[in-house]
Homo-oligomer: A and B are copies of this chain.
Amino acid sequence: MAVKTYLQAISDGLRSEMQRDKRVFIIGEDVGVYGGAFKVTQGFQEEFGAWRVIDAPLSETAIVGGCTGAAMMGMRPVAEMQFADFISCAWDHLVTVAAKQRYRAGTPVPITVRLPSGGGFSGGPFHSQNPESSFAHIPGLKVVCPATPADAKGLLIEAIQDPNPVLYFEHKHLYRRIKDEVPEERYTVPFGEARMHREGDDISLVTWGAMVYTADEAAQKLEGEGISVEILDLRTLAPWDKEAVLRSVEKTSKALVLHEDTLTGGFGAEIAATIGEEAFESLDAPVRRIAAPDTPVPFSPPLEKAFIPQVEDVVAGLKELAEY
């Protein structure tokens, strides 16, 4: 199997869906001639033409609202936000129209919004955010956060074929840093099924996105100390795989939830609350949450490092749990 970067896997998945399905088109700022700020759609306009790879005006509302209308007319739009942060400018269209149209009026809105998210390279407060929790709270939206190249491809194809609005968060810090085997053929990864990233017996660590790798490093460090950590990569937050999480916690009896988004009201709270409610009798320790502190994402490298959960933070949290 070919080894590909996370970014290449996204690009490949998108290209193959566009080749297979004429209803799929992409619209966003600078996605055409320039190939996108991160070059995910490089070469696409040559291949598919300017009406399937559309350079939009600087108009997030028109992009997302426009995708909604096109989807209602039978297209399968894929919108690219230049950075996930800018989705705040289309919040209304997602929560008001796309999320509710099926329930209210019976009209499906099969759109995919691609959101380059996450920090780690001094992007500052507006090019580093992880706004997935905000959307995971809105009934009617689906939220996807792949961590591996193979999932990035399979989940993107699933997002495009899903009959609902899907927010697809692609973590910028994984784009070129993470490489792995990706099947050539078309495949989908179903929503709502966590990936067992690493099996273990002592503590369940539930996470997603770039934090999977932070978790993994922490787990490796603790291996030597005889602490066996099971890592579940949720892959999708809406829907999220409650069963897999509860199953794991019932086995290990301890849980840590880790995310890069800020702590208070982050989606980790939902997971921790659910574990606390539904696995109460299995728990041998409080469910711990590790997340970014409740501040905007700072720019300066030392501040940003202190902001994003680091391997040491996770190691410390796991140890605390192990000793509990």
Contact = CB atoms under 8 A, between A and B. Distances in A.
Interface of A: 85, 88-89, 91-92, 95-96, 99-100, 103-104, 125-126, 133-134, 136-137, 139-140, 238, 262, 264-270, 272-278, 280, 283, 285-289, 294-296
A295 B139 contact: yes
A176 B103 CA distance: 31
18 contacts: A88-B96, A91-B92, A104-B296, A133-B137, A137-B265, A139-B294, A265-B265, A269-B269, A269-B272, A272-B276, A272-B277, A273-B287, A273-B289, A276-B287, A277-B287, A280-B283, A280-B285, A280-B286
A103 B296 contact: yes
Contacts of A285: 280
Given A133-B137, A137-B264, A103 B269 contact: no
Nearest to A324: B280
A286 B276 contact: yes
- Closest 6 pairs between A and B when the two form their complex, measured CB to CB: A137-B265, A276-B276, A280-B286, A272-B273, A91-B91, A269-B269
Contact of A92 (B88, B95, B137, B267): B88
Contact of A266 (B104, B137, B275): B137
A99 B278 CA distance: 35
B264 A265 contact: no
Given A286-B276, A286-B277, A125 B104 contact: yes
Contacts of A275: 276
Nearest to A143: B265
A12 to B, nearest CB: 32
A140 B296 contact: yes
A276 B272 CA distance: 8
